[in-house]
Structure 1
């Protein structure tokens, strides 16, 4: 598989994996997202939507641009994750508002958990989910761009 093709697959798989993981942790393990968690999901969705057409037309005009735009969207999610992790670690102040789970009735509003952006609901080795999103998104975006540059150099 060529470098550009691999970059296209990574532009799809990295955000799909991270977004899928976020949804599994929310619906499977009850780790409800705060507002900044939701913000991190939108660029991943955009990256998926940009990468899919590039996968179906590899090497065609514009497919490289779609993959590069997907890499940028992935990096944006990572940047939001870095900011969010900084808020969780107390390095700087974040939002003053909190989010709920999208309740639809008064009873569900009153029963919905209040999710704070400055409290990490889960961590592994001292790194929160937002921190892992930063590490994986930034690393993935850089790898995609390096693979694309390698493919262009070899072409």
Structure 2
């Protein structure tokens, strides 16, 4: 089976999952379901604080990736939706440089997938993180950058 056939089948599977997700009334209109959670994908890029406020208003948290399966699913969505860089992650190291914690609860993270050499706190100004789909990993970045975001809540 060729690479294009596999990609086509993956796209079909994604579309079917998305259609089912939009029909699931437990999440609400505009949400997509994956592995028992509801995801809302932004249509614009905003600074981290705006993404946090918007997700809170939806009764959700900013995306905190829990495993490679979820990360791969988010990667696919970033590509299909044409996001420029990727999406904000709901983690930061404001309190202690180099120790990233969950913004939603302040606890340490149990899963990470940093790009080689990251996090590096370039110019002592990178306290937030994003999933950078072109490099297939996480990068620390200034919180003021404009990045797309994903809100996540339990189903």
Which structure has the larger Rg over C-alpha atoms?
Answer: 1
Between 1 and 2, higher relative CO (CA 8 Å, sep ≥ 6) is seen in 1
Tell me which protein shows more strand as a share of its residues.
2
Tell me which protein shows more helix as a share of its residues.
1
